[in-house]
Structure formats: structure tokens, C-alpha cells
Amino acid sequence: MGAQAGSLAVGVRLAQWAAVQPDQLFIGDARQGARITYREAARLTAGWQQALARAGVRRGDRVLLSLPNGLEFSLLYLSVLMAGATVVPLNPEAPEGERVRVASKSEPRLAIVAGSAPAPDGGAVWRLEPGAWAAPQRRRPRASAPLPRDPAAGAVLLFTSGTTGDSKGVRLSTGRLLHTAAHIAQHHRLAPGEVGFSTLPQFHINAQVVGLLASLHAGSTLWLDDRFHARDFWQMVAEIQPTWINAVPAIIGILGRQPGPAAPPGLRFVRSASAPLPLPDLTRFESRFGVPIVETYGLTEAGSQVAANPLPPGRRKPGSVGLPVGVRLEVVDPDGVRMHAGEAGEIRIGGPGVVDRYVIAGEGVPSFRDGWFYTGDHGYQDRDGYLYLTGRSRELINRGGQKVPPREVEDVLLQHPAVSQAAVIGIPHALLGEEVAAYVVIDGSPRQVMDDLKSLCQRDLSAYKRPVAIHAVDRLPVGPTGKIQRLRLKADVLAARGAS
């Protein structure tokens, strides 16, 4: 079942595996020990589809899903897709303003929330308690729920983080989702018998497609945890014996800085996504645990993965996010002219997995032109086609006309073993427009570290790229996947300056 079969509907794929390998473990809760086989998943999702129909949910309706990581989210997510409706995932810990904003933009017919958690005003609400996997049944339940006339009618509606303007609504049909999931499964060599482990938030596109849908496509097993727990992470790994781990740079950085047992012999790779991985963190992790890191690059608008490094024994290039997978990709100048190898520009992508418009548009420059999605990310490709990221267009620092990619400076700062996090932003300057400023989280006394960091910058950076100031802070603003939010940091810094 290769990538060419990716257009098969979710329900068809689940039914196939339930018939071929009914007792194979599909999803498990690593912390609670609960598990669901493919046969059980087919039965449970059929029951939820019937319950959704009784609640008045029809093809194309939107269902807000705000549940913690776990089996309940997984089953309801698949059930809504199989019913031909649209899932609207929402962080169960989202503040009130975000809940109201998402609900007002998506207008869901039904909201599914955990226990007594807040729910949006208007519309029906289901409240699920932990362990409520099975849908409430009628006295005479139907044997199965009918598939929608169009088995690919289901979709997911997500809202971008708004780093290139106001938050925008991205609708990913099941065809697009499964196109990407199929390419991920093929690239990662997933198959029955493979075991994945993910602690990433399921309201994020990465966990949905790379974790759940790619595992479903391949007929493999996925273990979930409620969130990342550094203290017993390796204990969990030893118990479930995964063959691959879905992670982000923040997790890899934390694990690489603390002792841990030898990795299980069957662990083939750890996948890194959602943000660029600092080279020092990659080197430290691989040296300590002997497990290869596979760096990747993804976007909500592409249903997650866009590019990935080859798996061992293929050629991985540290610092690169790899080669395009299942997409068309070019690096272009502001006029849309393709750049030569080694020349930086904006990354644009296209293909069956990439959306062609925003269904709920925000403010900002239009991103779709001539069949391409202009990502707002900057980078370059080498002669072999490997992609290197240098930053986002709004995050590039313009110092007197000289462009400074924040990540280049951050990688230098992160070479110091006492620096656990680093963020570089541009601060206003009367003559130059912007100057470079760095903010670092330091383990230990900052005085000596600051001197070391200045020396590192003098050694490894051109003069115009060196920070005019390096500030030690207790924490940096991060998103739900641990990705440092430079624009939010900059807004906080400028606001504090204005108040002083």
C-alpha cells in the first residue's frame, strides 16, 4: 500500500486493516496502558459515527474537538472524518480569547470537550470523561454506520499561528491529508509491525498526520503520551519498544542535555519537525544515544511534511531539512525567478497535498500565486537539492540593508553547553533600521557565560551579525510544540521598552 493509494478514505483504510489484521495494536496510551486494536477501532468509530448522526452532524458540518492527547481524541478525530464532517482541533488548554476566536470563525455545529472544560457558546456540546471511548448507544444500535456518499468528504480546519499576519483558516480535505500521510509512511518505511511513539499535542497537524494518519495508512502501531515528560521518557521508551519517535527540537535539546539509558536496539530514528533543529543539539543527542535524528520541514498548509532527510543508510545532511517529499518545491527571488544552488530566497511549494487558498482569510500579503503557495520561509538548496532554512521573511533582521537570519546567530550561541535556548530578534535603531539582539536561557551563573558568548560571536560571526546585546532570561515564549516564537518575543520587548 504505497503513496499512490493515499487518496483512499479514512474509513476504507481502517476497514481494510481491521479485516487483514484485526488483533494488531493500532493506538495505545503509554502512560495508562490502555490499547485499541484495529478491529476495536473500526467498531468504536462506527458507534461514534452513529452518535454524530443522531446529534444532527451532517457532511460538511464543523465539529470542534478540544480533548487532551489520547485514545479519545484519536477515535473522535477519525470518526468525524469518516462521517464526512470537518474536524476543528483546539488546544484543550487554550485561553478564553482563543476559544472564542476559533469558535466564532469556525461556527461548529457540535463541540466535544473534556469533562467540565469550558465550551464555546452556542451549538451542542458533548462532554467526555477520561476513558469514554465508546459512543452512547441506542437500545437497538445499528450494526454499522454508512459511509458518506463521497468517502473523501471529511476535512480538518486549522488556524495558522499568524506569524505572517492575522491567523488564517486552512481546510485540509482527507484527500490532501492522506496524500501527505502516505508519503510520510513510505519515506519513513512504516509498515505493520512498526511502532511509533508521540508525545506531541494532537491538536497540532504534525501529531495528526505524521503520527495518527501515517500509522493508519501503514497499518502500524502508535503509542501516545499526554505530553512530554522528561523524567520518565526513556522508561516509557523501554516499555513500549518503539521503532521510531516523533519529536520536536525542544524535546531533543532537553533529552540531549541529561543522562539517559542506552536506546533500545530496535529504535531506528527520531524524527525532528516543527522548527529548525540547532546543530549542537543534534550532535549532542546522536553522540549520547547513538540514534540518528531525521530532520524534516513541514507546514500546516501542506498537511505537515514538506521535506525530509533520507533515513539511514541514506545520506543525511546535518543542518538541512532534507529533500522535498510528495511536493513541488522551489526557492525564488521576489519576482518569482528560481534561485541557483546556494542562493537564498523564499520557499514556494505546490502539489496534491498543498491547499490552494485560505478558507478563512486573515490580513497580510496573499500567499497563493500561479499555482504556488509562497511559504514566507527563506532558505536555499544545495547542488544535491537539500533544503536549508534561514528564517521567516518577517523574522529576518535588516541591519542597514544587510540581512541577518536569526537562526545563524542562534546556532552560534547554542554551541555553549550552558545555553539551553536562544532567540535572536531585530530591535529598532535610528540609523540602521534594526540591530541584532539575543536572548538566552542559561543553566548556571550567567557572568562567565556572557563573556564566552561574546567570544563565540566574535569568532564565528561577521561583525554585522553579532548581537549588540545578549540578555539572560528565565524563559522564552514558545508555542504548543515548543517552537520559540521570535515575533512574540519581539512584541514583548518593544512593549516593555515603550512602558519604561
pLDDT of residue 120: 79
Q: CB-based burial of residue 339 (10 Å sphere; 0-12 exposed, 13-18 middle, 19+ buried)?
A: middle
Query: Which regions of the chain carry the CATH code 3.30.300.30?
Result: 397-499
pLDDT of residue 45: 96
How do 433-442 and 419-429 pair as beta strands?
Answer: antiparallel
Query: Which regions of the chain carry the CATH code 3.40.50.12780?
Result: 3-380
- Cα separation, 306 vs 386, whole angstroms: 12
pTM above 0.85, yes or no: no
Cα 205 from chain centroid? 5
Q: Is 341 helix (H, G, I), strand (E, B) or coil?
A: coil
* Ordered strands of the 419-429 beta sheet: 419-429, 433-442, 469-472
Digitized pLDDT (tens) for each residue of the chain, 500 residues in all: 444 343 458 999 999 999 999 999 999 999 999 999 999 999 999 999 999 999 999 999 999 999 999 999 999 999 999 999 999 999 898 878 778 888 988 999 999 999 888 887 777 999 998 888 887 765 454 544 444 445 557 999 998 754 444 568 999 999 999 999 999 999 999 999 999 999 999 999 999 999 999 999 999 999 999 999 999 999 999 999 999 999 988 899 889 988 888 899 999 999 999 877 888 889 999 999 999 999 999 999 999 999 999 999 999 999 999 999 999 999 999 999 999 999 999 999 999 999 999 998 754 556 899 999 999 899 999 999 999 998 777 787 888 767 788 888 998 999 999 999 999 999 998 777 889 999 999 987 777 899 999 999 998 888 889 999 999 999 999 987 788 999 899 999 998 887 55
pLDDT of residue 330: 98
Integer angstrom CA distances of residue 291 from 16, 269, 317, 400:
33, 6, 15, 43
CATH code at 397-499: 3.30.300.30
pLDDT of residue 83: 94
250, containing H or E segment: helix 249-256
Query: Can you name the CATH fold of 3-380?
Result: Rossmann fold (3.40.50)
Tell me the longest C-alpha to C-alpha distance in the chain: 76
Bond before 249 cis per omega within 30 degrees: no
The C-alpha cell that represents 83 in the structure block = 462521517
Torsions phi, psi for 251 (to 5 deg) = -65, -45
Reading phi first (left if > 0) and then psi (alpha if -120 to 50, else beta), residue 225 is in: beta
Cα 390 from chain centroid? 19
pLDDT of residue 394: 75
pLDDT of residue 145: 46
pLDDT of residue 121: 76
